[in-house]
Amino acid sequence: MKKKVLSVLSLSVALWMNAQEKDSLNQKKIEEVVVTGQYTQQSINKSIYKVEVIDAEQIRRMAATNVADVLNQSLNILITSDRNSGNSTASLLGLGGEYTKILVDNIPVVGDIGLGNNIDLTKLNVNNIERVEIVRGSMGVDYGSNAMAGVINIITKKNSSKKLMLNASVQEETVGKEYDFYKKGEGRHIQTLNVGYNIDENWYVGANINHNDFQGFKGTQEGYKYFGQDKKRGYLWQPKDVLNVDGVVRYTKNKTSIFYKFGFLNEKLNYYNPIVGELYLGEGNRTYVSTDRDYLTTRYLNQLNVQTKLGAINYTGDFSYQTQDRKYRDFTYDIPNRNVRGTKDEYQSYNKADIVYSRGVFSNFLDNEKIDFQLGYELDHTSGYAGFIAGNFAGNNVKRKIFNYANFISAEWDVNKWLSVRPGYRLALSDKFDTQHNYSLTVRGKITENDNIRLVVGSANRFPNFDELYTYFVDSNHDVRGNENLKPEEGFTVSLNADRKVSTASGWNFKFGTSGTYMNLKNRIEELQVNLQPLQYKYINIDKFTSYLVEANFKAQKNQFSFSANASYYGISKELSSGVVTSPDDFFYTFEANAAGSYTLPKTKTNFSLFYRYVGKLQMFVLVPDLASPYYEIGERGDFSMMDFIVSQPFFKNHFEVSAGIKNIFDVSSVRDTTVAGTAHGTADPTSNLFYGRSYFARLSYNF
């Protein structure tokens, strides 16, 4: 594995060593722009933060079907999938999805346990994305609670260069070796439609539809038609059908822009019970039945964004009303006869959230090129409930009502032509937790026009989620409890990074950089064993979590060829306590690397894209709950490599495009994983099911 990685990095160094530098100021380029963490839209080269950008062209070349597919190629982001729920969340810098803020157009996305965190990325479609911006490290001043590991901001398209824009595509994809085009078949079937129309120079309207039909992955199971009584019925990955519909209206005139978006999500997930029973019908007749379950999730979004000038002052206002309702219904399925016995009951709601969110920012008070400061507020009000099926809670429905409010301020001072400084502070208030204070200090040094160095110091907090506060699962075999007295977690990061751009006389453009990050968490929340006899578990605050990260980046581009390679090495130390014994606080280190190459044939415009990623082994201490004498041992998740190869060919002046390729060439499905300890819920699975193996796809796109 490491030989593959070293060979890729060696190629990067060789390309750079053969390059001869040249001043790039005279070359005309389209500069990437970013908005995450900025006062206004900013050139990525001038950004106060280090921002990783994945643009629409990269996403198209990946043949990604949802945001989880897109982020799977990024360093230090591990997509964690739940085969039963179908959810996929992003773990960043060794921390789970609840530590990363997921935004769409600067607005946090509603999720099952909170606003903007632990978001199922498979519910977010990619057919209308302009770019994805990723900032690593604590971003509490700018984005509040849960932005501890970083922020992932999904920027959607809001205009069109044409009077009328029409894009439609269909994509057929195998799931491992499984594929069948017909209904109740196999594989993944995706259809998209995007329409945009510029009414005049001020008004733009658009609509987007994305249908992603995943028919499940059987693997070692036998599918829903099987009625053997050996627990092999059903699927390893449950079938899931997702429909996203968006409508947008944008008005721009002079220095004012008003953008409104309506969004609708409908997700259906089918759970086919592996336990099959006999049903006697009388007179010697019998059939085989199973109690299956349908899940239905609906989500509505209303979003308004306003950007304008109030005199000399810049104002940006984000307003959103989101609601999500998760429902289920159980029914008895007659497997041999392929029908439902009786009728399906009405769906019952078990997890509901209604969220009102607003964020407003004022800047450019002094109308001065040297110094500026920003004032802002953020509020969110969440109401709803969670039922027993959503988690193990006391009673049927636990109502929730949370109000968070924050004010933040920062100042950006261009000390001279090469030095910029931005200090910041946020005061966060909550009706359930103590007041939180977050701080930040960012320094950008512009060594030359193409050389930057950045120092970012920041803090962030994470409020306990619903499960951690209210879980109550107590019976003769289990005792797992939440803790309403939990303290918010507090995170702190320091990051130093440098980047450089170089151009050569022969037309090569190079970018390379390096960075180092330190992170420390206080009051980290864990589900830990608090008593041996009887065996009891409880969510409690622990004291120590520390990580270090070193990363290197390289990119080369000339004409129709581009190549990038990145590597990181990070260590994590955390101290756990079972109430009886405390774990060591040793550091465990993990190596990751990725590479991506793309080449387009000049005459035929055929594009070849290759994506590679290596994730090294991961180690951590795991509690062995021995009743006589519990102890900690080292658990390990094995390493793995991923590779995708994709070919795209346009026709008829780029109006049609055919793409085909192979994903997960190395056929990775699961790796040995002993990093998850058994709990009161049961013993841990010694393997981690990451993917469903090698798959093949074909896509046809039409552009008008």
Tens of pLDDT, residue by residue over 332-386, are 999 999 999 988 889 999 888 999 999 999 998 887 888 998 999 999 998 888 7
**200 has pLDDT over 50:** yes
Each residue of 29-72: pLDDT tens digit? 446 788 988 888 888 888 888 899 999 989 988 988 889 889 98
| Calpha distance 586→578 (Å, rounded) | 17
**Distance between CA atoms of 363 and 315, rounded to whole angstroms?**
7
CA distance 413 to 420: 6
The DSSP secondary-structure symbol of 218 reads -
Highest mean pLDDT among 86-95, 109-118, 281-290: 281-290
Looking at the predicted structure, is the pLDDT value of residue 510 above 70?
Answer: yes
Instruction: Indicate the pLDDT class of residue 617, thresholds 50, 70 and 90.
Output: very high
Lowest mean pLDDT among 321-325, 433-437, 464-468, 488-492: 464-468
* pLDDT tier, 535 (very low <50, low <70, confident <90, very high otherwise): low
pLDDT of residue 5: 41
Question: Which region, left, alpha or beta, applies to residue 382 given φ > 0 means left and ψ of -120 to 50 means alpha?
Answer: beta
Q: What local confidence, expressed as pLDDT, does residue 112 receive?
A: 77
pLDDT at 45: 80
Residues 574-594 as b/e (b if ≥16 CB within 10 A, e otherwise) read bbbbbeeeebeeeebebbbbb
Question: Tens digit of pLDDT for each residue in 563-585?
Answer: 999 999 999 998 877 667 888 88
Q: Dump pLDDT digits (tens) for 280-317.
A: 988 889 999 999 999 999 999 999 999 999 988 999 99
Rounded Cα gap, residues 143 and 361, in angstroms: 12
Q: Which of 390-404, 475-489, 638-652 has the lowest mean pLDDT?
A: 390-404
For residue 17, what pLDDT band results from cuts at 50, 70 and 90? Answer: very low
Q: Of 44-53, 175-184, 408-417, which one has max mean pLDDT?
A: 408-417
Q: What is the rounded (10 degree) CA torsion for 88, 94, 98, 99? A: -140
> What average pLDDT does this structure show over 80-107?
83
| pLDDT at 541 (0 to 100) | 83
The pLDDT value recorded for residue 644 is: 96
Most confident of 73-87, 386-400, 511-525: 511-525
Structure-model confidence comparison of residues 447 and 390, the more confident one: 447
Which token pair is 556?
């080369």
With 70 as the cut, is the pLDDT of residue 395 above it? no
The mean pLDDT of 627-656, rounded to a whole number, is: 90
pLDDT of the residue at 15 = 34
User: Mean pLDDT across the stretch 177-191?
Assistant: 86
pLDDT bin (cut points 50, 70, 90) of residue 685 is: low
- Assess whether the previous peptide bond of 625 is cis (omega < 30° from 0): no
The pLDDT of residue 92 is above 80: yes
Q: What are phi and psi of 13, to 5 degrees?
A: -65, -40
How much is the pLDDT for 13?
37
Residues 580-606: pLDDT tens digits? 788 888 999 999 999 999 999 999 999
Q: Where are the beta strands (DSSP E) in 254-284?
A: 256-271, 277-282
Backbone angles phi, psi at 122, to 5 degrees: -75, -15
- pLDDT of 83 reads 65
Per-residue pLDDT at 155: 92
The chain-wide mean pLDDT, for the chain, equals 86
What percent of the chain is helix, strand and coil (3-state, nearest 5)? 5, 60, 35
Give the separation between CA 434 and CA 463, rounded to whole angstroms.
10
At residue 312, the 3 state secondary structure works out as coil
User: Partners of 674 in the beta sheet?
Assistant: none
From the list 528, 436, 430, the residue with the least C-alpha distance to 482 is: 528
Percentage of residues of the chain with pLDDT beyond 90: 55
- The answer, yes or no, to whether residue 118 has pLDDT greater than 50, is yes
* pLDDT recorded at residue 485: 85
Average pLDDT over residues 77-104: 82
pLDDT at position 680: 43
pLDDT of residue 476: 55
Question: What are the angstrom distances between the C-alpha of 498 and each of 38, 132, 449, 511, 516?
Answer: 19, 21, 13, 11, 9
Q: How many Cα neighbours within 13 Å face the side chain of 215? A: 21
Element containing residue 476 per DSSP (H, E): none
